[in-house]
A and B are shown apart, each in its own frame.
Chain A
Amino acid sequence: MKRFALSEAPIDAASEKARLEHPAAGGCVTFEGWVRNHSAARAVTRLDYQAYGSLAESEGAAILDEACTRFELRAARCVHRVGTLAIGEMAVWVGASADHRDAAFAACRWIIDEVKRRVPIWKNEHYADGESGWLHPDDTPVDIPPPG
């Protein structure tokens, strides 16, 4: 089982968390990113996530490897959804277990930040007014294709 995975199916957070377990670990910190119903004051009805799969998986694995170097961890994992997601669905899950809580909190935060910054996954927001737009940070939708 890969430590970083893209998933077309809903994320099973319980089974992911179970894979963080280690007899020397004193705890784990997990983060769940959910699809929310608004973005920049616009009502959002659903999201599409598209990934450049092969590079996303290698970049995600590199982030988890780096996390294990930077922080005193027993395990670190991440799963990111691709495809169409409804409001409230879990888009990303991150977990880190460690002997002590400081490392687990810091690593979990660092991993989600790096995933958002580096892993080639893109979010297309579908708005209540029927428009949609790919987000390319500075987080504003750009390049809505010209008509025709």
Chain B
Amino acid sequence: MKIRLLYFASLADRAGRAEEIRDTVATNPRDLYAEVAREHAFAFTATRLRVAVNDALVGWDHALADGDEVVFLPPVSGG
């Protein structure tokens, strides 16, 4: 299925892009992060991240659907 990923902050720098559309066999964010972390050499382990699907925070075992938009959120630093 096709998943749209958005990247922010250091993840966007490391991936060299702010978004990508990926054809993946991953069925949940946990497996999807392992896939993109390997490809883009992300330094974060998933334990330091949160994940959002279609603009809502979800758990790492959330079932992904074709066309979902996924964001892995590194630790935030607003304020």
Contacts and interface: CB of A to CB of B under 8 A. Distances in A.
Contacts, number: 88
Nearest to A57: B55
Interface in A52-98: 52, 54-56, 58-59, 80, 91-92
B66 to A, nearest CB: 20
Nearest to B6: A52
A115 B79 CA distance: 7
Given A124-B9, A143-B43, A134 B78 contact: no
Interface in B23-50: 43-44, 48
Contacts of B4: none
A45 interface: no
A2 interface: no
B73 A52 contact: yes
Count class of interface residues, chain A: 20 to 34
Interface residues of B, number: 23
Contacts of B48: 136
A145 B74 CA distance: 15
Given A58-B55, A145-B13, A122 B78 contact: yes
A25 B43 CA distance: 48
A109 to B, nearest CB: 12
Contact of B76 (A116, A143, A144): A116
- Indicate the member of A50, A136, A139 with the most B CB atoms within 10 Å: A136
Contacts of B8: 50, 52, 120, 122
Interface in A26-51: 33, 49-51
Given A52-B73, A120-B73, A121-B78, A134 B9 contact: yes
A80 B79 CA distance: 7
Given A50-B8, A52-B52, A145-B14, A134 B79 contact: no
Interface of B: 6, 8-11, 13-14, 16, 43-44, 48, 52, 55-57, 71, 73-79
Given A92-B79, A116-B76, A134-B74, 4 more contacts: A52-B73, A115-B78, A116-B78, A145-B14
